[in-house]
């Protein structure tokens, strides 16, 4: 008997340690399963990146959920070099009666974006710019950003671009970056949920394509303690209910509209607490150091790559409209954080700023490291947490931030992160980097 199965499509969810997991169905049955989804287990949220479920978790061994496919978010390509197509549908975790589950990070982002819109009229537009490093690729040494670095990796960059385009994530560029065998993928701005979905798809397609060449693509923030970091830069801007870009105001400092300024102020106010939700692993904190072009202070700047919020440049060539390009880049993120949770944190913190109408943060240009502590304090430049352990404590200490989430989700997150802290305690930073390099 011949099978009618063409290939498998996976319904996926991305968890607190940013591992995308899921269940496969024959491609023919995906529409049929859209109404009720497939089974899922709450305790899966307490999986560490090393594999096991932490014993201190709020979910225990009981309970059941459904993973419902969002068939409007299906990403398919047959260009990864695998024998069958890469075919994923993003899923939402719901209770058995269909109510959203409080541990579903995709649903959390949806409700954060909805709350922002309901309370302020603003919709967030976002994109994740992601850096990664290739291992076991046998590529020759090459100059940073060089043509030869790009051509030596041929056909990888071109095929990756084609696969991402076919998958529907609107790639803009696959480029050779500064670090050894380091590349970066940018893609077009879109609504919050699609932006986070695309971040997941880009990572998975890149890893799959590298795997098919016998290579390994790693998005881990540091391949070695002193290596060039892999950042995830989250760009954001706003449109109003009529779709008009409302982030830019030429008359105000930095060109930030009053709303964008209050949003940024909220993000900076809560940044020490949300750092762990956007840069979530032990090696994340080897990256978040001064003079790394990553970010290490609560700092808004115009076009400075050391700032945590960087106001991006506007191009006026050919009389282009600045308002549609104007955006802000959040640089405290990396791929060990869940993209839905990371963007949820930014949106929620920004919304706090808008509700409180906090005044614009000061724009600072210079090196915070050269200032005395009192001067930094005057400028609102607070050092971000120095370790994962400190970052977890900063999260727990900010009642506003923890109030955005179900206490069980915080408990689960803290449980997993504490397990990571413990595992790394007896390891050298080099070993930590090599472990996370393989996991991400």
Sole window of 45-53, 177-185, 309-317, 318-326 interacting with Mg ion (rule: CB under 5 A)? 177-185
Partner residues linked to 310 by β-bridges? 301, 329
Alpha carbon distance 244, 262 (integer Å): 18
Choose between 177 and 420: whose C-beta lies nearer to Mg ion.
177
Choose between 63 and 366: whose C-beta lies nearer to ligand GLU.
366
Which of Mg ion, ligand GLU, none is residue 198 near (CB under 5 to 8 Å by kind)? none
Choose between 184 and 204: whose C-beta lies nearer to Mg ion.
184
Residue 334 touches Mg ion, criterion: CB under 5 A:
no
Alpha carbon distance 249, 247 (integer Å): 7
Which position's Cβ is nearest Mg ion? 184
Alpha carbon distance 79, 383 (integer Å): 44
Q: At its nearest, how many Å lie between Mg ion and the CB of residue 131?
A: 5
**Which residues inside 156-175 make contact with Mg ion, applying CB under 5 A?**
none
Q: At its nearest, how many Å lie between ligand GLU and the CB of residue 392?
A: 22
Give Cα separations from 13 to 28, 107, 304, 305, 355 (angstroms). Answer: 20, 11, 34, 32, 31
Site size for Mg ion, by CB under 5 A? 1
Q: At its nearest, how many Å lie between Mg ion and the CB of residue 416?
A: 28
Q: At its nearest, how many Å lie between ligand GLU and the CB of residue 229?
A: 3
Which positions lie near ligand GLU, rule CB under 6 A?
131, 228-229, 231, 287, 293-294, 305, 331
For residue 242, give the nearest of 156, 117, 150 by alpha carbon: 117
DSSP code of 369?
G
Alpha carbon distance 35, 19 (integer Å): 25
**Which residues inside 73-102 make contact with Mg ion, applying CB under 5 A?**
none
Choose between 77 and 223: whose C-beta lies nearer to ligand GLU.
223
Alpha carbon distance 179, 433 (integer Å): 15
Q: Can you give the C-alpha Rg of the chain in angstroms?
A: 21
Please count the other Cβ atoms lying within 10 Å of the Cβ belonging to residue 428: 10
Residue 184 touches Mg ion, criterion: CB under 5 A:
yes
Q: At its nearest, how many Å lie between Mg ion and the CB of residue 284?
A: 16
Which position's Cβ is nearest ligand GLU? 231
For residue 233, give the nearest of 157, 341, 309 by alpha carbon: 309
Which of Mg ion, ligand GLU, none is residue 260 near (CB under 5 to 8 Å by kind)? none
By the 10 Å C-beta count (0-12 exposed, 13-18 middle, 19+ buried), 111 is classed as: middle
Which of ligand GLU, Mg ion, none is residue 266 near (CB under 5 to 8 Å by kind)? none
Alpha carbon distance 169, 309 (integer Å): 25
Choose between 128 and 405: whose C-beta lies nearer to ligand GLU.
128
Q: At its nearest, how many Å lie between Mg ion and the CB of residue 293?
A: 8
Which of ligand GLU, Mg ion, none is residue 229 near (CB under 5 to 8 Å by kind)? ligand GLU
- Cα angle vertex 169, ends 440, 5, to 5°? 85
Choose between 203 and 287: whose C-beta lies nearer to ligand GLU.
287
Which of ligand GLU, Mg ion, none is residue 228 near (CB under 5 to 8 Å by kind)? ligand GLU
Which of ligand GLU, Mg ion, none is residue 203 near (CB under 5 to 8 Å by kind)? none
Q: At its nearest, how many Å lie between ligand GLU and the CB of residue 129?
A: 8
Alpha carbon distance 50, 429 (integer Å): 17
Alpha carbon distance 48, 415 (integer Å): 9
Residue that has been written with the tokens 């240009």 in this structure? 365
Choose between 228 and 401: whose C-beta lies nearer to ligand GLU.
228
412 sits in which H/E element: helix 407-425
Residues forming the site for Mg ion (CB under 5 A): 184
């Amino acid at each position: 008997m011949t099978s009618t199965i063409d290939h498998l499509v996976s319904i996926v969810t991305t968890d607190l340690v940013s591992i995308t997991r899921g269940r496969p169905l024959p491609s023919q049955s995906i529409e049929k399963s859209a109404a009720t989804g497939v089974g899922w287990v709450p305790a899966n949220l307490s999986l560490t990146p090393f594999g096991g479920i932490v014993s201190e978790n709020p979910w225990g061994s009981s309970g059941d959920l459904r993973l419902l496919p969002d068939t409007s978010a299906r990403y398919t390509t047959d260009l990864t070099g695998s024998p069958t197509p890469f075919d994923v549908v993003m899923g939402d975790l719901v209770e058995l009666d269909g109510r959203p589950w409080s541990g579903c990070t995709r649903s959390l982002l949806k409700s954060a974006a909805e709350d922002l819109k309901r309370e302020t009229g603003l919709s967030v537009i976002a994109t994740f710019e992601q850096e990664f490093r290739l291992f076991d690729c046998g590529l020759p040494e090459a100059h940073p950003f060089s043509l030869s670095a790009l051509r030596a990796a041929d056909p990888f960059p071109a095929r990756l671009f084609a696969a991402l385009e076919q998958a529907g994530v609107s790639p803009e560029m696959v480029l050779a970056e500064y670090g050894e065998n380091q590349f970066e993928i940018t893609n077009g701005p879109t609504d919050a949920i699609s932006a986070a979905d695309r971040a997941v798809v880009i990572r998975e397609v890149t890893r799959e394509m590298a795997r098919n060449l016998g290579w390994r693509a790693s998005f881990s923030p540091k391949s070695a303690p002193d290596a060039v970091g892999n950042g995830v830069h989250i760009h954001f801007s706003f449109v109003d209910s009529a779709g008009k870009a409302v982030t830019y105001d030429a008359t105000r400092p930095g060109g930030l509209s009053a709303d964008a300024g209050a949003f940024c102020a909220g993000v900076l106010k809560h940044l020490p607490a949300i750092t762990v939700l956007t840069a979530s692993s032990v090696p994340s904190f080897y990256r978040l150091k001064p003079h790394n072009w990553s970010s290490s202070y609560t700092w808004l700047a115009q076009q400075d790559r050391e700032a945590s919020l960087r106001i991006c440049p506007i191009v006026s060539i050919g009389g282009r409209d600045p308002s549609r390009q104007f955006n802000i880049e959040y640089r405290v993120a990396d791929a060990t954080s869940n993209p839905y949770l990371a963007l949820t944190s930014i949106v929620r913190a920004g919304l706090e700023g808008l509700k409180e109408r906090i005044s614009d943060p000061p724009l600072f240009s210079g090196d915070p490291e050269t200032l005395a502590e009192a001067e930094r304090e005057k400028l609102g430049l607070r050092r971000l947490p120095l370790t994962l352990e400190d970052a977890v404590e900063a999260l727990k200490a900010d009642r506003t931030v923890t109030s955005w989430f179900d206490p069980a989700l915080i408990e689960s997150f803290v449980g997993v992160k504490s397990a990571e802290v413990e595992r790394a305690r007896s390891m050298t930073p080099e070993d930590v980097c090599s472990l996370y390099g393989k996991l991400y």
